[in-house]
Amino acid sequence: MKSLIVAESAGFCFGVERSIRMAREALEAGECYCLGELIHNDDVVKLLGEKGLHTLESPEELPEGQRVVIRSHGVAESVYTELEKRNARILDATCPRVAAIHRIVRRASEEGRTVLIVGTASHPEVMGIRGWCERSFVVKNLEELEALCQNEPSICTEPLTIVFQTTEIREKHVQIVNFLKKLYTKPKIFDTICEATAKRQKEVRSLSERCDAMVIIGGRSSANSRHLYELSKESCERVLYVSGASELDCSLLRDCDTIGISAGASVPAWIIKEVVNKMCDEIKTNPEEMTAEKPEAEKTFDELLEDSIRTIYNGDTVTGYVVGITATEVIVDLGTKHSGYIATEEFTEDGTKIEDAIHVGDQVEACVVRVNDVEGTVALSKRRLDSIRSWSDVENAAADGTVLEGKVTEDNKGGVVVNIRGIRVFVPASQTDLPREAAMSELLGKTVRLKITEVNRGRKRVVGSIRAVTNRERKERAEQIWNEIEVGKHYEGTVKSMTNFGAFVDIGGVDGMVHVSEISWNRINKPSDVLNIGDKIDVYVIKLDTEKHKISLGHRDPNMNPWKRFTDTYAVGDVAKVTVVKLMPFGAFAEVLPGVDGLIHISQIANRRIAAPGEVLTVGDVVDAKITNIDFEKQKISLSIRALSEPAPAPVVEEPVEEEFAAEEDALVYEVGADGSATGVAPEMDEE
């Protein structure tokens, strides 16, 4: 028994459907032009050409003021500029998914980022993408990426944005992302592979595993058709690649019991039916035993194109554009005869206003909930699609260890609940990475990164660990720091704990200690006088021991060294206004500048003998003092108040005056007291 199985997703995708529909509508008003082939299918291009769609190779060929269709693959930004110069009436049929990539790479260039495109460099889609960014590279696979990193080592240090050709293979995406994550800490990776492409590839992989032969239909220049062929070859020995029925050699399939058929995104339904019909006729297989239907009688081109618009089924993922918004519904144009609608509550459930959440003209993707052929409507749900994808993302993350990001929405004694795109993930207290004494409520409202450790979709139970991620990242950062650290290097650190002798600071996975003497140039008693737990401070490496993994850090800014400011300002002999800060038995310490003290020895406080500095000075006094000595090596200063005092008058010794009456008068002897006062005393004279 022979049986044919046609893949459900074979044929036109949304972007191709949209471009053909736009071209048909344009042709209703007369002939027009298209830059390059509208899609990669010779039959469709030929039929459209017969109806008046002329293909151009460059914008310079377009006659002045004519209508032109931009093909589904998109074009460079410069092409639009050239067309505007020619006053062209542009009908942009660029696939919305490709247009989204244009916006991504343009924004990346504006931010000064390098763009890496994974795809085929000669493909029109990739050439168009490169025309929207400044610096870009293209790689086809992991091998080319590894070679690029060797030949262009600078790319490993530049800020990088990665996008994928919409028709790329999903497995290639996983390989390249894993490779890049080893080189970069925060690359911006955008998964731009079309969902329809991914679905088509998944079906082909499944078919090729259970069929004796595969037939892939597609144009020779169709990248997505070529990928279907490559995927089929991985599991099936006999795979035929044809562009239509005329190329099919059925003799190669006569001994096969089960044959699978799929087609690329640019293949219309009638070509698929022609291939199936030929297989039915030549292999002599009973059509009733086939899952594919034989084609109907010959139809007109318009009817064939109408048939090529795929049917919408419950559960399908569809993309459309918002054409209207009411109080209860968001109306979506799906590019078919059906009109889609989504309940407005799906956009406003978090309190957001509908006018802020969605706008007319926005692209929206949703899941088909119910098709009403009688009324021509399709009930859609964005929430259900998000939930399906979120569960899939969570399950994949659990399988491959991918780190996910979510917001903490609930807390209790047992742990916290993290919302990841609508999925509630429970994180036990032991896995939150909080200290034991900390309250779980500290995490409320915060965005956290976590690893999924358990998933049970049936019970709707998901368990995660924040600690697993922080431990791994801390270890990676620590290894990186120890590989790069050196004396004098600066870091931004976070104060983790404090003691009386210093503060421990995390510099990105490694802790270092800032001694209390290195915290401030001003006098402090303990670290908590100027620092708090959690403070972000700038530190630099003073000393390190790589064997014991010990790091001594400094926080004081060397440029603000008060000793340097003092030596730049004062010299020996200068007079400074100083503040008494401490009294000792041997003298008084006075602040010359903040952070610089000098000693006034007890002998230099007054011009008389004193028993203690407190007899003359008190803490807080501001006095003038002369700088009498500077010890640059030990950074010590000697001050003197006495040097600025008026010296005590010297004893006056008068010469005796030899007069006739001098011998008859009593002589006075002056005595100078300790306080500098003088007294005259008349001594007793001996009688002869």
State the amino acid at position 535 in one-letter form.
D
Question: Distance (Å, rounded) from C-alpha 34 to C-alpha 48?
Answer: 10
Three-state SS string over 560-593 comes to HCHHHHHHHHCCCCCEEEEEEEEEECCEEEEEEE
Q: If 0-12 CB within 10 Å is exposed, 13-18 middle and 19+ buried, where does residue 442 land?
A: middle
DSSP-derived letter for residue 652 is P
Question: Distance (Å, rounded) from C-alpha 573 to C-alpha 577?
Answer: 13
CA 234 to chain centroid = 36
Q: What tokens were used for 375? A: 């009324």
453-485 burial string, b = 16+ CB within 10 Å, else e? bebeeeeeebbbbbbbbbeeeeeebbeebeeeb
When computed from its CA atoms, the radius of gyration of the chain, rounded to whole angstroms, is 44
DSSP-derived letter for residue 624 is E
Residues 6+ apart with CB under 8 A from 514: 502, 503, 504, 505, 527, 539, 552, 553, 554, 555
CA geometry: angle at 537 spanning 531 and 538, to 5°? 140
Question: How are beta strands 550-554 and 511-515 bridged, if at all?
Answer: parallel
The closest of 177, 167, 54, 64 to 120, measured between CA atoms, is 167
Residue of 57, 60, 77, 125 with catalytic role = 125
Q: Are 465 and 418 in contact (CB under 8 A)?
A: no
Run of H or E residues at 278? helix 269-283
**Count of Cβ atoms closer than 10 Å to residue 26 Cβ:** 21
Q: Are 242 and 297 in contact (CB under 8 A)?
A: no
Residue 178, classed as helix, strand or coil, is helix
DSSP-derived letter for residue 290 is -
DSSP-derived letter for residue 59 is G
**Count of Cβ atoms closer than 10 Å to residue 69 Cβ:** 25
How far does the chain reach from its first CA to its final CA, in angstroms?
Answer: 170
> Is residue 8 flagged as an active site residue?
no
Question: Distance (Å, rounded) from C-alpha 632 to C-alpha 510?
Answer: 36
Three-state SS string over 229-250 comes to HHHHHHHCCEEEEECCHHHCCH
- CA 53, 57, 59, 65 torsion-angle sign: negative
Question: How are beta strands 423-428 and 415-420 bridged, if at all?
Answer: antiparallel
Question: Distance (Å, rounded) from C-alpha 452 to C-alpha 468?
Answer: 10
Question: How are beta strands 363-372 and 403-412 bridged, if at all?
Answer: unpaired
Residues 6+ apart with CB under 8 A from 401: 451
Residues designated as active site: 125
